[in-house]
Amino acid sequence: MTQLSKITCIEDFRVLAKRRIPKMFYDYADSGAWTESTYRSNESDFQKLKFRQRVAVNIETRSLNSTMAGLDVAMPVAIAPTGLTGMMHADGEILGARAAEKFGVPFTLSTMSICSIEDIAAHTARPFWFQLYVMRDKDFMERLINRAKAANCSALVVTLDLQVMGQRNKDIKNGLSTPPKPTLVNLLNLLTKPAWCLGMAGSPRRSFGNIVGHAKNVSDTSSLAAWTNEQFDPCLSWEDIAWIKKTWGGKLILKGIMDAEDARYAADTGADAIIVSNHGGRQLDGAPSSISALPHIVQAVGNDIEVWMDGGVRSGQDVLRALALGAKGTLIGRSFLYALGAFGEAGVTRALEIIAKELDVSMAFCGRTAVKDVDRSILIEPGLFD
């Protein structure tokens, strides 16, 4: 048994998660669309950015404290919305939200979560964020928004890049379903994951808690599949965002921006932040990495709106690189899921500690003492992606 104290990087969590999570759910997290080229470049493009190491600078007192959309955070990192989180570990969303709350970073609950909005509100004291997909059923969307209000969510994150579903080959081959269908292949795989099975047996949460029992004519997983396939709205427009903003009335964050022109449109909506994101490489394969798209978007919007990014963030050094290119915040999805799948709540806490330590030490080596002072001058080739 690997001790949590021996975990030194996110990759350690990934290796353990692969052993402990059923194959279809591990593959769901650790995969991209089609050839997965964008998924891989999200991670590898960070490594192209090299740091300028500085010496003889007083770095005794350092701070990672920052703000994201006006919220004080322990470091400029939030947990991204991830679907099926409760299939990586029993009650996974609850565990992730508790770890984030204790650490002092935001947690974002996905519409496609296993635990419901109400579950998270019942198990946390700090307000969390809720992620919303734009669907054809506007009545259901309005009820979701009102449920988020009732749960005291402090921001609404609207995902813009899922008007149609990207083809994820591993999910098709695995016959992804929640819970797993009792096929021979699945049952044999589950026999090798006893801890996961025991945890799931002790939880009542095994389906999509925000949808089943709330959406019209969706009472079980079989009716859910048909409903989901027809609900993502290909007619999404900026007018829909205006309606959501008015209905919500609070902090609004727009996720899925990869183009400078779209970034300008997003800024004009009056949203509080945008997230440069290609959905973790799970939608348009062949799109650029998030980190390479970031500088163009920062330049396009200036100081009109906060710019954050996600996709490929596996370390505190990656966070530092994103900050250097103008991001005011970052989000972690797979890094969170690997840690959750490997060790539950304690794993998420440890992952946040690792990222914070890497960010702190790397920032110090670059001669900076506060994340707010990080800029392009810490990079050897600051215009690499311009």
Domains of the chain by range and CATH? 4-378 (3.20.20.70)
Contact 62, 360 (CB under 8 A): yes
Question: What local confidence, expressed as pLDDT, does residue 215 receive?
Answer: 87
Residue 204 CB coordination number (10 Å): 9
Residue 1 pLDDT > 60: no
Binding residue numbers for FMN: 81-83, 110, 131, 159, 255, 277, 310-314, 333-334
Q: Mean of the per-residue pLDDT values for the chain?
A: 95
Q: What is the per-residue pLDDT across 83-111, written as a single tens digit (0 to 9) for each?
A: 999 999 999 999 999 999 999 999 999 99
Residues with Cβ < 8 Å from 364, sequence gap 6 or more? 59, 62
* Rounded mean pLDDT, 17-39: 97
Question: What local confidence, expressed as pLDDT, does residue 179 receive?
Answer: 84
* Rounded mean pLDDT, 5-10: 95
* Rounded mean pLDDT, 309-319: 98
Q: How many residues would you count in the chain?
A: 386
Binding residue numbers: 28, 81-83, 110, 131, 133, 159, 168, 255, 277, 279, 282, 310-314, 333-334
Residues with Cβ < 8 Å from 277, sequence gap 6 or more? 161, 255, 256, 257, 258, 290, 309, 310, 311, 331
Q: What is the per-residue pLDDT across 52-89, written as a single tens digit (0 to 9) for each?
A: 999 999 999 999 999 999 999 999 999 999 999 999 99
Question: What local confidence, expressed as pLDDT, does residue 220 receive?
Answer: 57
Residues with Cβ < 8 Å from 179, sequence gap 6 or more? 87, 200, 206, 207, 221
Question: What local confidence, expressed as pLDDT, does residue 230 receive?
Answer: 83
* Rounded mean pLDDT, 329-351: 98
Percent of the chain with pLDDT over 90: 90
* Rounded mean pLDDT, 257-274: 98
Residue 2 pLDDT > 70: no
Question: What local confidence, expressed as pLDDT, does residue 319 receive?
Answer: 99
Question: What local confidence, expressed as pLDDT, does residue 165 receive?
Answer: 87
Residue 19 pLDDT > 60: yes
Question: What local confidence, expressed as pLDDT, does residue 222 receive?
Answer: 56
Question: What local confidence, expressed as pLDDT, does residue 228 receive?
Answer: 75
Q: What is the per-residue pLDDT across 165-200, written as a single tens digit (0 to 9) for each?
A: 899 999 999 999 888 989 999 999 999 999 999 999
Torsion angles phi and psi, residue 107, rounded to 5: -115, 135
Query: Parallel, antiparallel, or unpaired: how do β-strands 71-73 and 66-68 relate?
Result: antiparallel
Binding residue numbers for glyoxylate: 28, 133, 168, 279, 282
Question: What local confidence, expressed as pLDDT, does residue 219 receive?
Answer: 63
Where in the sequence numbering do the catalytic residues fall?
Answer: 279
Question: What local confidence, expressed as pLDDT, does residue 178 receive?
Answer: 84
Contact 336, 82 (CB under 8 A): yes
Sheet with 329-332: list strands edge to edge: 77-79, 329-332, 306-310, 273-276, 251-257, 155-159, 129-133, 108-109
* Rounded mean pLDDT, 113-117: 97
* Rounded mean pLDDT, 269-288: 98
Q: What is the per-residue pLDDT across 217-255, written as a single tens digit (0 to 9) for each?
A: 776 555 666 777 788 889 999 999 999 999 999 999 999
